[in-house]
Structure 1
Amino acid sequence: MLVQDPDRVNILLVDDQPAKLLSYEVILSELGENLLRANSAREALEHLLKTEVGVILLDVSMPELDGFELATMIREHPRFQKTAIIFVSAIQITEFDSLRGYEAGAVDYVPVPVVPEVLRAKVRIFAELYRKTRQLERLNAELEQRVAERTAALEASAARLQESEQRRTLALAAGQMGSWDWDPRTGEVAWDAGQFRIFGLDPAKFRPTFEAVRPFIQPDDLSRVEALIVAGLPSSGTFQTEVRVLRPDGDVRWCICAGAVTGGGDAGGWSGRLADVVRVSGVTIDITERKRAEDALQQLNEELEHRIEERTREREVALAQLFEAQKIDTIGQLTGGVAHDFNNLLMAVLGSLELLKKRIPVDDARSRRLLDNAVQGAERGAALTQRLLAFARRQELKPETVDVSKLISGMEDLLSRALGPAVMLNKHLPQDLPAVSVDSNQLELAILNLAVNARDAMPLGGSLSISGREHSVSQGDAEAPRELPPGLYVRLEVGDTGLGMDEATLARATEPFFTTKGPGKGTGLGLSMVQGLAVQSGGAMTVTSQPGQGTTIALWLPQAEFAEAKAVGQAPSTPEQDSVPAHPELTVLVVDDDMLVAAGTAAMLEDLGHRVVEANSGAQALEALRGLGQAIDVVITDHAMPGMTGLELVQHIQESHPTLPVILASGYAEIEYTAGPVLVPRLAKPFRQSELVAAIAAARGTGAGSGLASNVVPLPLHA
């Protein structure tokens, strides 16, 4: 059998897959224990027969013997009946499997994929328990050996002593034992050196008598010893009990007091009185170290149980947080997909309305008014999709110059619906409030998030105030956050009259996943997302709150470098306001899997005087290019298409027609890129005819600059 390092625990890893064994070794290497590997049940049994193993990490599914069978074989061996076995399973564990595993001797399950922190915590607990158990076994063995040695010495001494020395037959002269003899008739007590050592008394200064010794024994223990002496008299028997010795230095020693009682009295028998005791002889054994070891083991077990409970709670919290994160991601994917489809519909609606408006006589005011209403409704739908895409994180967001007053005025209806009828909305935003540099969509989402949090903090109703003012931060400004550098800022405050927060809750308010709401009612990401927006924009966020007096969130946003703020939510200019530049007649290949969108784009191009070739997939587009050759002047392609995405189509075009201009039109921004120097103009759906003209000019290298629309963005493409 291999010699085991007493300070390290052997942990046996059993799995038929070497890659999983390697991953377990990497995860458990931080524990500093001995890691043994076994690729099969046979190798595992060989290790167990050669080595003392404290913890077994066992795969459930293996070719020769599965984990349940191997665990049963291990448990049948007397040496391994108490060895900790942890099952690792990559399949769904049913209640039947759990019961079968525990019947086979498992102490825990770990599902795959393995969470490294959870696996390390579980293995660390059982390894530490194994180590402490072995230490206690060694300590008990040593104590038993010492007791055996002392007992053997007593027996040998008793055989050699004369009858006159019988009163010392139970005494030993060394170690943690002392002998004593008490004559109740005279009160005299005789101690050996060991007895003085146990009591912590100096033989030269202390004369043991019954009355002098009583104060050094715990009162409850003393009364019990006296009762045992009386009980032992009828048969001149023996007694044994534990007593606590109170030493002069304040130390308390646990001892075993064993003695023999000799009674006197009349021949008629025992009178039941302590006065009839003739002699009491005995031995005192100091067991303080063993007691302390037992207490330490009990405390360790309690700590382990507490740690297991804490780990269990942490695991439950982590699972709940993971569930919330997955739920948010799923909602985001669904929202992004709906927004993408809605953008395609708006593309067809806006394009058709724009072309229709050109065909309505100028003097037909009623028709033009109805048409303007339809355009405004479609444009509001486009603004809504932008917010949906921002929530779903499927939109490429960039800081811009934002007029905060106009932005909040534009979302007042949305805020009112979110707050409900029980909450009153108050705004205090000066018209001359300086513009700020921030991502407008993210700022809208942050304000809406704060409003919803405020509503939840006012279950009985209340008021929500949104105010803003200019603030110049200087060095050492006590009113501003310490991390905020000097400069010009706009301080935007969102305050409620709700329940408020105490100091402990306020200290953790911005921690990710921390929430005071019940399960399923909040992710704990709201304030941390708002704080992240403020910091990434070059500002800061502060939270002030008192129980019963509400909460105020202050966003410190840097003032924009530009003098004029971009009006958020302002309706795009009409075709009469947009001057469509002159252009040569071109042949344009339009690629879109949505035939309605393709037809709308083609109609706008034909209205501009261009020839249009339509394709409803990437494969049809490549076939059209092979047939028409150099006749195509520019390609406008959608991105999200089945079979071949827009980016993949652009790659093929770059390889076969490297000089052919390509425009990527998409209402969905979840596009993956690799590093490369190629730039492709992007046209965000829904787009208007003037933006289409600007995109074509940018792609062909003519009219770039002022001709570019705001939603034409160059993107890095796969090289």
Structure 2
Amino acid sequence: MAAPLTFLPATGTPPEAEASPPVRRADERVNILLVDDQPGKLLSYEVILSELGDTLLKATSAREALEHLLRTEIAVVLIDVCMPELDGFELATMIREHPRYQHVAIIFVSAIQISDLDHLRGYEAGAVDYVPVPVVPAVLRAKVRIFAELYRKTRQLERLNAELERHVAERTAALEASTARLRESEQRRSLALAAGRMGSWDWDPATREYTWDEGQYRLFGVDPAGFVPTPESVDALLHPEDRARMRALGRHAARTGEPFDAEFRIVRPDGETRWCVAGAATTLDAAGRRRLSGVTHDITARKRAEEALIDLNRELERRIEERTREREAALAQLFEAQKLDTIGQLTGGVAHDFNNLLMAVLGSLELLEKRLDPQDDLAHRLAGNAIQGAQRGAALTQRLLAFARRQELRPQTVAVAGLVEGMRDLLERALGPSVALVMLLPADLPPIRIDANQFELALLNLAVNARDAMPAGGTITLDGSAVAQAPGLPPGPYVRIALTDTGIGMDAATLAKATEPFFTTKGPGKGTGLGLSMVQGLVAQSGGILQVSSAPGQGTTVALWLPAAAAVEAEPAAAAPLADPAALASCTILVVDDDPLVRIGTAAMLEDLGHVALEATSGAEALALLESRPGIDLVVTDHAMPGMTGLDLARRLRAAHPALPVILATGFAELPSEGETPLPRLAKPFSQEELAMLLAAVLVPEAP
């Protein structure tokens, strides 16, 4: 049985800000197949994806899914990895074997930790993407929307191509018919005279006399009774651009005796321009003088057909180029979304591993510092520097998690104006005397729901970036307003908060990369390139959007759109006094962690606090130790462990030892559901003091 579906908290908009699904015409909707053996998860997917406005088909088994696929055209298939009978990999393989679905988009949903081999197996089975649980609704919608739109665009392109081919076939048939008519007309020249499409003529260069037949008069559109063909009158009927060429060709044929062939235009007295072709042969009269005798053929219809074919080819090329650009744009959009998602997953994993390393470093440094000679100032300074460096590393991991949208948020409804006014002194100290700070935040600005501490850190990051863009000083303006629409977000009330500087600004190339992770303009060693990415991650995780506008010499504006909340939450009641760690007697504590550095460091901190520390490298080893060693007072366990996670271990302990407290120490911000009672948590890296305080809170009984 697969694990229950869970969601990252605070990633969606409040209920009052949810948008209705887009209304699509029946021919625009595509079918999305949802496959999971748990009806509850299918209902969750249906709620998440209903905003797309497409048709959602549900199947609780592989057999049901295959029945849908045989009956219906499917654009995207969302498959749970773990299912009875056939798992997700086997179902994907069967789908790919069907000729009709060799290119359908298959997305796996996995609620368990997926190894590299599982990823490889999934891609070999035909998957285009993985969605890990807990599911981020916005991310799931975005991924499904991309593949649905790609399917929709592909079908539209196929329809347009079919329509274009039909038009080309019709036009080609028309041109072929026209060409056939031209061939018939050329084969029956004897009948062309009567039809007025050909005329014969004779020219004596010596006397400059023309002799025309009736067909020649009809072709030029002149009346034989009133028109006298002379070199001057005939020149007047030739197109101005063709006159000099025709005179030169006629003189050359009369002088050399070579055949006369020319294609030219005439302008008839009624103003109509027609294309003609003339051919003549040189003959000698009784006196030995050369004469030109030939025929003129009206080829206007053929010329117009050729021009129509040229126009058709140009239109065909234009439409093919346009469709190609649209397809390339869709593929580029898909690639960019996959690239950012891959970077986010990689960054989140690196941050988690780095938290484990920092845990071992900070814990060991704290214990080492306590054992240094109080008189050795240099050793204390060096230890302090090392601790400070490790703490800066911990801050960097928080930025990485913020970029990857995996940081742990504690959202609350806050008044923006009051929150920003409360950090005015902090902002002014960070900006320095050369930068003026102007705040234009109305007191009646609607509240927003966000992690207040992370929001303050985001504003401070933006302000420091703006300060660095004004080396000679300047002004930073922070303003806010209530708006009814945000770019790219569902309709609803939003709060727009913008920070504008008067700095050097950015060109288009720099602006395009401004929010990319690890991109910085501050030079080597002067910036992580994560500040703006962190802000963007926080805003997106809170249901909003970030946009940057800038131009060289005109400063930069960073605008945040965040969903408006209903009302500011009441001040929480005064917290109960914290338990005193000194009141905690010596305990026996089991430390469970697969990382030996973290496990040994945590055990050392516990022993330094006067407790007995036992160690286990896995959940199975911890369960065995608990069965063989009575008297264990508390368990401190990591979450991400092979075989059995920390949450799985906690559930087993609750069933077997309901009174045994469990503390979850992890570098993960996103965790699956912990059940009815959340576990006390320590976020890695943690200090000895934080560990002691949480132990006291868990083990020291409250005063009556």
TM bracket (short chain) = 0.5 to 0.7
Q: Distance in 1 between matches of 2:675 and 2:218?
A: 88
Whether contact under 8 Å (2:435, 2:473) holds in the other structure is yes
What displacement does 1:535 show? 7.8
The residue type paired with residue 285 of structure 1 is I
Give the match for residue 268 of structure 1.
Answer: 288
Give the match for residue 356 of structure 2.
Answer: 340
Q: Distance in 2 between matches of 1:360 and 1:382?
A: 27
Give the match for residue 681 of structure 1.
Answer: 680
What displacement does 1:657 show? 4.7
Label 1:600 to 1:336 Cα distance change in 2 as closer, same or farther (>3 A).
closer
* Cα deviations by residue, 1:184-225 (Å, 9 ceiling, x for unpaired): 7665755559956xx7x6979996856666555422334434
Label 1:613 to 1:154 Cα distance change in 2 as closer, same or farther (>3 A).
same
The residue type paired with residue 187 of structure 2 is A
Label 1:230 to 1:144 Cα distance change in 2 as closer, same or farther (>3 A).
farther
- Superposed counterparts of 1:606-617, under 5 Å: 611-617=612-618
Give the match for residue 580 of structure 2.
Answer: 579
* Cα deviations by residue, 1:261-305 (Å, 9 ceiling, x for unpaired): 5656562343xxxxx55x543321221332223422552475378
Give the match for residue 258 of structure 1.
Answer: 278
Question: 2:649 aligned with 1:649, yes or no?
Answer: yes
Q: Distance in 1 between matches of 2:188 and 2:569?
A: 99
Give the match for residue 97 of structure 2.
Answer: 19
Question: 2:289 aligned with 1:281, yes or no?
Answer: no
- Superposed counterparts of 1:84-483, under 5 Å: 138=173, 141-154=176-189, 157=191, 171=193, 173=195, 177-179=197-199, 181=201, 189-190=212-213, 192=215, 214-215=235-236, 217-232=238-253, 239-246=260-267, 253=274, 255-261=275-281, 267-270=287-290, 277=292, 280-286=294-300, 287-300=302-315, 303=318, 325=340, 330=346, 333-350=349-366, 356=370, 377=388, 382-399=394-411, 426=435, 428=437, 438-439=450-451, 440-441=453-454, 444=457, 448=461, 462-463=472-473, 466=476, 468=478, 473=481
Residue aligned with 2:242, SS: helix
Q: Distance in 2 between matches of 1:657 and 1:635?
A: 11
Give the match for residue 625 of structure 2.
Answer: 624
Label 1:350 to 1:224 Cα distance change in 2 as closer, same or farther (>3 A).
same
What displacement does 1:387 show? 3.5
**Length, aligned pairs only:** 535
Question: 2:494 aligned with 1:493, yes or no?
Answer: no
What displacement does 1:399 show? 3.6
The residue type paired with residue 681 of structure 1 is P
Whether contact under 8 Å (1:466, 1:494) holds in the other structure is yes
The residue type paired with residue 580 of structure 1 is P
Residue aligned with 1:267, SS: coil
What displacement does 1:442 show? 6.1
* Cα deviations by residue, 1:663-695 (Å, 9 ceiling, x for unpaired): 211123354x36965633322123356644664
The residue type paired with residue 682 of structure 1 is R
Question: 2:666 aligned with 1:666, yes or no?
Answer: yes
Whether contact under 8 Å (2:400, 2:534) holds in the other structure is no
Whether contact under 8 Å (1:407, 1:444) holds in the other structure is no
Whether contact under 8 Å (2:592, 2:619) holds in the other structure is yes
The residue type paired with residue 293 of structure 1 is A
Q: Distance in 2 between matches of 1:121 and 1:437?
A: 41
Give the match for residue 588 of structure 1.
Answer: 589
The residue type paired with residue 592 of structure 2 is V
Based on CA coordinates, which of the two structures has the bigger radius of gyration? Answer: 1
Q: Distance in 2 between matches of 1:525 and 1:380?
A: 14
Give the match for residue 553 of structure 2.
Answer: 548
The residue type paired with residue 19 of structure 1 is E
Question: 2:638 aligned with 1:638, yes or no?
Answer: yes
The residue type paired with residue 354 of structure 2 is V
Give the match for residue 140 of structure 2.
Answer: none
Q: Distance in 2 between matches of 1:344 and 1:433?
A: 47
Whether contact under 8 Å (2:278, 2:297) holds in the other structure is yes
Q: Distance in 2 between matches of 1:528 and 1:179?
A: 80
Q: Distance in 2 between matches of 1:532 and 1:206?
A: 88
Label 1:528 to 1:662 Cα distance change in 2 as closer, same or farther (>3 A).
closer
What displacement does 1:593 show? 2.7
Label 1:634 to 1:510 Cα distance change in 2 as closer, same or farther (>3 A).
same
What displacement does 1:130 show? 7.5
The residue type paired with residue 590 of structure 2 is L
Whether contact under 8 Å (1:663, 1:683) holds in the other structure is yes
Whether contact under 8 Å (1:542, 1:553) holds in the other structure is yes
The residue type paired with residue 142 of structure 1 is A
Normalised by the size of structure 1, how large is the TM-score? 0.54
Q: Distance in 1 between matches of 2:334 and 2:540?
A: 29
Give the match for residue 68 of structure 1.
Answer: none
Q: Distance in 2 between matches of 1:360 and 1:597?
A: 26
Residue aligned with 1:589, SS: strand
Label 1:266 to 1:516 Cα distance change in 2 as closer, same or farther (>3 A).
farther
* Cα deviations by residue, 1:424-451 (Å, 9 ceiling, x for unpaired): 9736389x99999744446645754675
- Superposed counterparts of 1:53-72, under 5 Å: none
Residue aligned with 2:299, SS: strand
Q: Distance in 1 between matches of 2:210 and 2:529?
A: 76
What displacement does 1:637 show? 0.4
Residue aligned with 1:146, SS: helix
Long gaps (5+) in structure 2:
1-93, 106-125, 127-149, 485-490
What displacement does 1:591 show? 0.8
What displacement does 1:347 show? 3.6
Q: Distance in 2 between matches of 1:556 and 1:308?
A: 34
Whether contact under 8 Å (2:584, 2:699) holds in the other structure is no
Residue aligned with 2:193, SS: coil
Whether contact under 8 Å (1:182, 1:190) holds in the other structure is no
Give the match for residue 16 of structure 2.
Answer: none
Q: Distance in 2 between matches of 1:505 and 1:202?
A: 71
Q: Distance in 1 between matches of 2:225 and 2:545?
A: 75
* Cα deviations by residue, 1:288-347 (Å, 9 ceiling, x for unpaired): 332223422552475378559957986997799579745676455434432332134224
Residue aligned with 2:304, SS: helix
1 or 2 for the larger relative contact order (CA 8 Å, sep ≥6)? 2
Give the match for residue 33 of structure 1.
Answer: none
Give the match for residue 44 of structure 2.
Answer: none
Q: Distance in 2 between matches of 1:542 and 1:667?
A: 30
Long gaps (5+) in structure 1:
1-15, 28-89, 91-114, 158-169, 271-275, 417-422, 477-482, 566-575, 708-719
Q: Distance in 2 between matches of 1:651 and 1:331?
A: 29
Give the match for residue 34 of structure 1.
Answer: none
Label 1:267 to 1:178 Cα distance change in 2 as closer, same or farther (>3 A).
closer
* Cα deviations by residue, 1:90-109 (Å, 9 ceiling, x for unpaired): 9xxxxxxxxxxxxxxxxxxx
Whether contact under 8 Å (2:590, 2:613) holds in the other structure is yes
Whether contact under 8 Å (1:336, 1:392) holds in the other structure is no
The residue type paired with residue 153 of structure 1 is R
Normalised by the size of structure 2, how large is the TM-score? 0.55
Whether contact under 8 Å (1:399, 1:438) holds in the other structure is yes
Q: Distance in 2 between matches of 1:260 and 1:391?
A: 82
